[in-house]
């Protein structure tokens, strides 16, 4: 799926001269976490998020200088912080280096972008103009809307040997473990034997088995340091 498949259209935007108070009201009233700032030609200039408005002079939440700040901050950093805390308009407080995507950007890349930059939404642009927004909520909506299995007239259930081969292939292709484990399947019930290095590896192998078509249950006999035993999942 791509950005165009899940993005919210009819995006609310503000101008560079919109007041900070009006931006704050907009975020609260529309229950959104950020709003793009666009010029007269519709081109994206920046974005104002909740994070850009939390350290404000009016709230007495402005970051106050400390003697050690001078050791790690430049005069430009201090000037920008002052403008963000005291500026009255969107152009004073907006983030100018905005992360953006196109309508064809895959959702996997958008998820990585949101996570890497610790942001909640990203504008979708076409010729520098905002045509939509993809938020974390949009990605969750895509997950809920996606069927667990592709619709087909008949779904062939593999036999035990086919189930075993599919599980082993999934484990090897994704390098889930670096030790030898054994997979035994009887009437769709999978038994996992061997040793793994961590609970994370153990959980990944179990998930890999659970997601194979035809599996009716998973018995975990995998040995994990300081956590050995049998768990029926």
Q: For 105-129, what is each residue's pLDDT tens digit?
A: 999 999 999 999 998 899 999 998 9
What is the model's pLDDT at position 63?
63
pLDDT over threshold 80, residue 68? no
Q: Are residues 64 and 124 in the same domain?
A: yes
Overall average pLDDT of the 125-134 stretch: 92
What is the model's pLDDT at position 228?
45
Domain-located, residue 111: yes
Q: Are residues 131 and 165 in the same domain?
A: no
Domain-located, residue 150: no
Q: Which domain holds residue 222?
A: 160-232
pLDDT band at 101 (very low <50, low <70, confident <90, very high): very high
φ, ψ for residue 223, nearest 5 deg: -85, 130
Domain end (from 110, 145, 180): 145
What is the model's pLDDT at position 154?
52
Q: Are residues 84 and 130 in the same domain?
A: yes
Q: Are residues 122 and 44 in the same domain?
A: yes
Domain-located, residue 155: no
What is the model's pLDDT at position 65?
55
What is the model's pLDDT at position 218?
93
Kindly report the average pLDDT of the chain as a whole number: 83
What is the model's pLDDT at position 69?
52
pLDDT band at 229 (very low <50, low <70, confident <90, very high): very low
Q: What is the CATH number of the domain that holds 91?
A: 3.10.580.10
Q: Are residues 49 and 164 in the same domain?
A: no
Q: Are residues 175 and 218 in the same domain?
A: yes
What is the model's pLDDT at position 232?
45
Q: Are residues 194 and 124 in the same domain?
A: no
Overall average pLDDT of the 176-200 stretch: 86
Q: Are residues 92 and 168 in the same domain?
A: no
The more confident residue out of 226 and 125 is 125
Domain-located, residue 194: yes
Tell me how many domains the chain contains.
2
Overall average pLDDT of the 35-43 stretch: 93
Q: Are residues 64 and 103 in the same domain?
A: yes
Overall average pLDDT of the 193-208 stretch: 89
Domain end (from 114, 145, 176): 145
Domain-located, residue 86: yes
Domain end (from 145, 175, 207): 145
Domain-located, residue 165: yes
Overall average pLDDT of the 39-53 stretch: 91
Q: Are residues 36 and 124 in the same domain?
A: yes
Domain-located, residue 154: no
Which has the minimum average pLDDT: 66-75, 80-89, 152-161? 66-75
Q: Are residues 113 and 10 in the same domain?
A: yes
What is the model's pLDDT at position 77?
67
Q: What is the CATH number of the domain that holds 219?
A: 3.30.1340.30
Domain-located, residue 153: no
Q: Are residues 27 and 128 in the same domain?
A: yes
């Amino acid at each position: 799926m791509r950005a165009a498949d899940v993005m919210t259209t009819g995006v609310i935007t503000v101008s560079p001269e919109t007041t900070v108070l009006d931006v704050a009201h907009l975020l609260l009233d529309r229950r959104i976490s950020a709003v793009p700032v666009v010029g007269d030609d519709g081109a994206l200039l920046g974005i104002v998020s909740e994070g850009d408005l939390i350290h404000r002079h009016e709230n007495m939440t402005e970051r106050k200088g400390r003697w050690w700040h001078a050791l790690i901050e430049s005069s430009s950093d201090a000037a920008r912080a002052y403008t963000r805390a005291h500026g009255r308009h969107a152009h004073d407080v907006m983030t100018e280096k905005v992360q953006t995507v196109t309508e064809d950007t895959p959702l996997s890349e958008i998820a990585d972008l949101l996570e890497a930059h610790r942001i909640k939404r990203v504008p979708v642009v076409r010729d520098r103009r905002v045509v939509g927004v993809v938020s974390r909520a949009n990605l969750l909506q895509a997950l809920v809307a996606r069927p667990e299995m592709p619709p087909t007239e008949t779904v062939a259930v593999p036999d035990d040997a086919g189930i075993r081969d599919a599980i082993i292939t999934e484990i090897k292709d994704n390098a889930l473990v670096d030790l030898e484990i054994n997979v035994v399947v009887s009437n769709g019930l999978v038994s996992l034997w061997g040793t793994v290095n961590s609970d994370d590896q153990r959980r990944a192998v179990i998930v890999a088995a659970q997601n194979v078509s035809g599996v009716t249950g998973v018995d975990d006999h995998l040995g994990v340091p300081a956590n050995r035993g049998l768990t029926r999942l």
